[in-house]
Structure 1
Amino acid sequence: MKKKMAFIYMSNYIDWPLGGMLEYVKNIIPRLSELYDIDIFGCSVDGTFNKIVNINDSNYKIIEYTDVKTFGKIIPNFIISFFNTFKITKLKEYDIIYSHTSATTIASFFKKSRKAKLIHHQHGLSYKTASFTQRFLGIGYTVAQLLADKTLFVCGEDEIDKHKKLFPKRYSNRFFSIGSPINWTKINQISETVQETNQFIYTGRIDEHKNILLLIDSFNLYIKKYNGNEELILVGDGPQRKEVEEKIERLNLNNKIHLIGRKKQEEVFLELSKSKLFLFPSKGEGMSLSVLEAMAAGLPIVGFEVMGMKNIVEIGKNGILTESQTAESFCKAIVEAYNNRDIMSLNAKKYSEKYDTENIVRRIYEILEKNEINAKIEHI
């Protein structure tokens, strides 16, 4: 008999919240649902709720436990989510509570049965250096990490080792590094049938943390200083979209930079497969799903030497990272990656294979079901 799992994430599992976290959970749910008797808990967004969502061509029932408000309501959403978690009457019935939101992890600690395992999934450590709001929420993240039986961190081993040193051993022994799951096979199938075009690409949220305005300046400099004739495709949406569009207009780059908004997963894979380089000037990441998907499509990565990038981009092998976070430095990195992109492309694709969803879910299952980190699993 399968163990019963409550999978809780403050999301509608369709288009909120924006970014890689949503794609992450959507990638692992189908495989987890084969391993566990799983109930998926989510939220309505501004009062709109979808009971059934389609993930990878299969329908999943979502149980509403809270409502969220958009546009600058992050902290109130977390507070409301915390109290509404207590209203989940059947929470004591589960063997495993797998929470992707600190508020639900903390509330579940007090609500769950004594036998249940409480798993907290921390989507990166970049909150330590992010905005005031994220640093404030970091208090909740820390509490959740301390209360959970096990915490899975989406970050590299070196970052989790540094993080462990901040905690007594009885807590840090429950901390595990976990990668980001990508549909490696699907991406490769698409990339093998698509012809490369004259474009660079960015995929992800359009917000201040992702440094899109600097990306535009860097690309503009690349065009003028190095006579670059490529175009730049921006795939995604977010709070900075209007500002980005205005800057593209102001610099007269409408024929060179194209902000095409959110796209379905296969459409993103198609755009990646048509591109030459992946430009990603983020100020910090956990373990970027976007970067790994780009690598799977054979794209060298251009970015900054920041948390979450240094772990997966091997400078000179599968991409170029620059320490100085300026448009000029990023532009030079574009040129260097472009000049070495043939060998970097092969290395990027090879490196990304270990992050195939099957491998990541196997790792999650291993941690959830075994006491030792390196337990061997013959069959799942």
Structure 2
Amino acid sequence: MTRTWPNDSTRIAPARPIPCPSFRPTSSSALTEPSSSLAPGSTIGILGGGQLGRMLALAAAKLGLKTHIYCPDPQSPAFDVTPLKTVAAYVDVEALRAFAAQVDVVTYEFENVPAATAEVLAGIKPLRPGANALAISQDRLLEKEFLASKNIPVAPYRAVHSLDDLTRAVAELGLPAVLKTTRLGYDGKGQRVLREPGDAEAAFNALKPHPLVLEGFVPFEKEISVVVARGLDGTVRAFDAAENVHRHHILHTSTVPADIPPGVEKHAAMLAKVIVVALDYVGVLGVEFFVVGGERQTLMVNEIAPRVHNSGHWTEAVCLTDQFEQHIRAIAGWPLGDPRRMADVVMQNLVGDEVDIVPSGLDGDTQPHLYGKAEARPGRKMGHINRIVRG
């Protein structure tokens, strides 16, 4: 039974669990990548119906490409801007196969796609970015091991399988330190700061599932990120680094240019490029960095995100090719666009009732982008604004 419906009707498919083992990272996709690019009119399948999926669908439409969005939530904001949608669980193998049969390539808007879901789809149609990048990035321990294997600086860390492991890790790394789940953590979720030895047991019992990872404290001066893209032909291009400020563990602003020396920015772009090449990556990837040190600043990678990134929304306002179009170009096998920045800019997330500043709080230098979500709740990203900074 097909589960593709136009936007004037919605049905919810029952879940049928995927009968396959857990995915393990491999060096290549299960499906051989075609060398030809997609023609206009082709269909891109997107896993996830949130704001990133919505913006990807808008970018695809501008290029004459259709989108088919797959998400279990019938109220997904991305459904408003796509001609095709599937409402079904990510573990529904029948729905996944029907979805894959109707698209030319599959991508995703979030990194917590179940590994078995990725494996099923990668066996039918090209999955870009590939399942290997997905598996590494959705497990903090695998991610750190991968980065360290490429000589990319990361915070000191220890795997924590038991309370005894945690006691030894605290003794080795010292306090303060941050205890994190290895999976399903974002916007500050799935972590606890340990400041005293007595904090360890309660944090270990509160965080699930195990194993966990303990990260040594990094006395960073600021946080930056680089959004980088790699095309199907191996071309790599990076956008300028953004300087990020968080509130309550949620990104508040991204300012470009970042207040860092040119050599530090160049090094950040180089490290981001090393990562996408090492992953044999196709698409846009976000790399978050800690800037450490005083006069001679150094970088540590905090995490990677195999998707378009919140800290790259500024590219909509001041780049000929923004991060969303760049991702669509890459996964479609098209040449990458020019990522150069044409003006200074500050991106601000609109979280919860902050969205109420639109439209009265706008001026001629401000570009709003609202996500079409019906209800503003505390901590929920409702939109963003890009404000051009005049000299």
TM-score w.r.t. length of structure 1: 0.33
Q: Which has the higher strand share?
A: 2
Q: Which has the higher helix share?
A: 1
TM-score w.r.t. length of structure 2: 0.33
